[in-house]
Structure 1
């Protein structure tokens, strides 16, 4: 049977940070959650309406997610993530799905995402999380992030038939 869908294994995450923008590939992310957006409802029902309430969509509030790592002090990307979280930095997040292996490029502050891979991207504020010490496991951090924008998905360009 042919594989259906896209596997999580093979996903890569990059963080855009700094006054002089730097794109850092996160090594060994254990789990990644983008978070769901919520949208308010605006009641549009007139007082004369006897039976059915009506509404319209209001503003969307971007969701809260997280990045989980098995914390490795020798892993520079882990240390950068924890430093940015301690500073409550706003960063760009670029998630390359496992349906390709192309990497993003940066020119100035502009990030270019190759069309040979599906991408999700957004801006988020990171927040420091505490290390977790569980029996029979590696010490880990779950770094909370509050998205500041909608998560945009740009799907891989499929060529041929």
Structure 2
């Protein structure tokens, strides 16, 4: 039975025309989607009937223990302040192979790990400062698309 460990998961985003890795996240959540309900009930029905409507992408989060020497942590804070909608790509722990990006072709996701991809933006966050703890940030991640999974290629 195959099991995929969370440790080793890497978070990337396409910012401008560059792939940026956000190193040392503490936690990452995609959030859950919901769908509107379209009432399709007939007048002579005893029970309501619904069709599935539009997708409402979920809200997840990304958490860090702030390291001001880690440029990607400072970039997360700036990204949250900007509200820019970007492409996110989360790679499984199967490997450490990074994606590449070309302006014409777009993102190239390596086949040796599972990828979860979506579009979204971060909301600004204030730090959490507690006794006997590290200064941390939890950014609300507002997805504007579904999460698309790209399976890894497994050798036969």
| CA-CA distance at 1:30 after TM superposition | 0.5
In the comparison of the two structures, how many residue pairs are matched? 155
In the alignment, which of 1, 22, 28 is matched to residue 26 of structure 1?
A: 22
In structure 1, the residue matched to 2:12 is: 14
In structure 2, the residue matched to 1:35 is: 31
In structure 2, the residue matched to 1:144 is: 140
**Aligned pair 1:105/2:100, yes or no?**
yes
In structure 2, the residue matched to 1:117 is: 113
In structure 1, the residue matched to 2:155 is: 159
Q: Is the 8 A contact 1:70 1:141 kept in 2?
A: yes
CA RMSD, aligned part only? 1.2
The alignment partner of 1:131 has SS state of: coil
Matches within 5 A, 1:46-85: 46-49=42-45, 51-85=46-80
Displaced runs of 4 or more, over 4 A: none
CA distance in 2, matches of 1:104, 1:67: 20
Deviations 1:89-144 (A, max 9, x none): 11111100112222101111611101111000101111111100011111011111
Q: Is the 8 A contact 1:100 1:118 kept in 2?
A: no
List gaps (5 residues or longer) in structure 2.
none
TM-score, with length taken from structure 2: 0.94
